[in-house]
Amino acid sequence: MVDWAELEIIPALEREGALLEATDPDVDEGAVEEGWAWLPPAPEGFPAWCARYEFAGTLGSFKPHFWAGERWEAVREHVPADLRSALDTFLAGLFWNLSGSEDDPQDDEDAEPWHGAMWVYCPPPDVPVLAQAWADAGPRLEALRGPFDLHAAHPGRWVGTFEEFAALLRGWAEVVDEAHRRGWGLVGLPF
């Protein structure tokens, strides 16, 4: 989660490096196994400009996100269309590359190149869409249990149970809700 105004102060070609340095899980001393790590440690009186979220049970790996995407693909045709639509929107930021849309700024010659190495980016004006999608889907999450158990369950594997899938989604909801509350954007980085 990033304060976009602070991020935009950094020269475009230096943004990726600044984000990687600020959020590197190997160098911060306040490493967390789950939840928020506010980074970089700011001097007294200055707020942090970004935070890293560690998803429960992922050990900092993207593999659970990938497998959550695979599980969702197995389930999505078996849920009501309105719930599928809301979750497609919400999950786009979790394990699908938002920058791969038809409006991809990477395809625009005038676009800033700093987005290229990031898995996902969602500027502040787009975060409310994710938050609304969760507001629509979150209360109905339990409706996915039956279809998940029937079409996607693989106990003992990454995100192999409904509980693991739901925990990852709830973690993403925490990230989206906090970014929305602050008016910040979201960036997925390759660690």
Q: pLDDT tens digit string along 122-131?
A: 899 999 999 9
Q: Is the pLDDT of residue 7 over 60?
A: yes
Q: How confident is the model at residue 32 (pLDDT cuts 50, 70, 90)?
A: low
Q: Rounded to two decimals, what is the model's pTM?
A: 0.79
Please, which residues bridge with residue 36 across strands? 53
H or E stretch including 65?
helix 63-75
H or E stretch including 136?
helix 127-137
Q: Is the backbone peptide bond immediately before 25 cis, with ω within 30 degrees of 0?
A: no
Q: Is the backbone peptide bond immediately before 40 cis, with ω within 30 degrees of 0?
A: yes
Q: Is the pLDDT of residue 114 over 70?
A: no
**pLDDT (tens digit, 9 = 90+) per residue, 127-180?**
999 999 999 999 999 999 999 999 999 999 989 999 999 999 999 999 999 999
Taking alpha carbons only, the member of 59, 64, 83, 81 closest to residue 167 is 64
Please, which residues bridge with residue 50 across strands? 2, 39
**pLDDT (tens digit, 9 = 90+) per residue, 57-89?**
776 667 888 889 999 999 999 999 999 999 999
